[in-house]
Amino acid sequence: GQQLNQSPQSMFIQEGEDVSMNCTSSSIFNTWLWYKQDPGEGPVLLIALYKAGELTSNGRLTAQFGITRKDSFLNISASIPSDVGIYFCAGRHYNNNDMRFGAGTRLTVKP
Amino acid sequence: EPEVTQTPSHQVTQMGQEVILRCVPISNHLYFYWYRQILGQKVEFLVSFYNNEISEKSEIFDDQFSVERPDGSNFTLKIRSTKLEDSAMYFCASKGGEDQPQHFGDGTRLSIL
């Protein structure tokens, strides 16, 4: 099906450390997106990926669309306290218009 | 920057009552969505809407749910007879084109008593 497996579920890191999280799927997606959600707010788009192998950066964030089209990762370099939140991957299957979300990675950054 | 707006931010309703959640998508967007997020869980797709009709819906979106775009700006989600398990954050999203990313509103927290 179109289930997304996102890992890790949570991370506790020191300020300044790099972070990596990923999503995998058993089916092929034609779009991968990464969102961040702060408490009480809606998901905010971080990076959108549209082509297999695509590597895209947004400031300290870098995300890649896996070659197999079944996975994506998000890296955050030199983490800062405001990076705290829940990061969701989301994928769109090639033959429909809806999106599926991963379960999220809860990031805690210790100053 | 244009944004998706949702009202109310918090809705408290008695079980069995009807509730309407309102969304104003970004003005030139063509695709509209509703999602649900139960506290502490992931965001779940409910329904997508394009060209004045539902294009996809999930198993969560049963006969108690309906969506409407009554005019050129609003996009509503109605729950006909609310149940306790409908308590969740409901997010509206929109996008401008098929290959564009979705942008989310800040959600409506629905509490069913």
Angle at A5 between CA A25 and CA B103, to 5 degrees: 85
DSSP-assigned beta bridge partners for residue A57: A62
Say whether A98 and B31 touch across the interface (CB within 8 A): no
In chain A, which residues have their Cβ closer than 8 Å to the Cβ of B46?
Answer: none
How many residues does the structure list for chain B? 113
pLDDT mean for each 10 residues of chain A (111 residues): 84 96 92 92 93 95 95 97 95 76 94 88
pLDDT mean for each 10 residues of chain B (113 residues): 90 96 95 93 92 92 95 93 96 90 93 96
3-state DSSP call for residue B108?
Answer: strand
Q: What residues have CB less than 8 Å from A79, skipping those under 6 apart?
A: A13, A14, A15, A16, A17, A18, A19, A60, A107, A109
A35 touches chain B (CB under 8 A): yes
Pull the structure tokens for residue B57.
């819906």
Residue that the structure tokens 């890992």 belong to? A7
